[in-house]
């Protein structure tokens, strides 16, 4: 966890902190119950710290959300997850 907090502290972009913070929290804290809710809450705190609106993952997009997280975890490719969150942010505008 100390490395997690150092990573977040060192990143100047709130949007990047939100993507990385959400992913790494889920990755290092792999509990089935409550893990996603806490990760999304932390993500939104990091977004708010940079003046961004909060994001809500609609139930209809849950599979795409989980697939993007899976790609980051299994394939080591965080791009689809960042793109998914970016798409959500654009839809909120």
pLDDT digits (tens, 9 = 90+) for 37-86: 889 999 999 999 999 999 999 999 999 999 999 999 899 999 999 999 99
Return the pLDDT at 26. 86
Return the pLDDT at 32. 66
pLDDT band (50, 70, 90) for residue 30: low
Contact predicate 18/43, CB 8 Å: yes
Q: How far apart are CA 28 and CA 57, in angstroms?
A: 21
- 3-state secondary structure (DSSP) of residue 53: coil
Q: How far apart are CA 67 and CA 11, in angstroms?
A: 25
pLDDT band (50, 70, 90) for residue 31: low
Task: Please give the C-alpha separations between residue 53 and each of 28, 49, 72, 88, in angstroms, as whole numbers.
Answer: 26, 10, 24, 11
Catalytic residue (one of 29, 53, 79, 91)? 29
Residue 31 sits at φ, ψ, to 5 deg, of: -95, 150
Respond yes or no: is residue 29 known to be catalytic.
yes
pLDDT band (50, 70, 90) for residue 24: confident
Query: CATH class for domain 2-92?
Result: mainly alpha
Return the pLDDT at 93. 64
pLDDT exceeds 80 at position 29: no
Instruction: Give the DSSP H or E segment for 88.
Output: helix 79-92
Q: Greater confidence, 4 or 84? A: 84
With vertex at residue 20, the alpha carbon angle to CA 9 and CA 44, rounded to the nearest 5 degrees, is 85
């Amino acid at each position: 966890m100390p490395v997690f907090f150092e990573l977040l502290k060192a990143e100047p972009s709130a949007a990047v902190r939100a993507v990385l913070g959400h992913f790494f929290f889920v990755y290092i804290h792999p509990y089935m119950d409550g893990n996603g809710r806490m990760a999304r809450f932390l993500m939104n705190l990091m977004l708010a710290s940079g003046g961004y609106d909060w994001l809500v993952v609609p139930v209809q997009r849950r599979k795409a959300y989980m697939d993007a997280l899976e790609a980051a975890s299994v394939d080591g490719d965080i791009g689809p997850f960042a793109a998914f969150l970016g798409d959500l942010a654009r839809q909120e505008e």
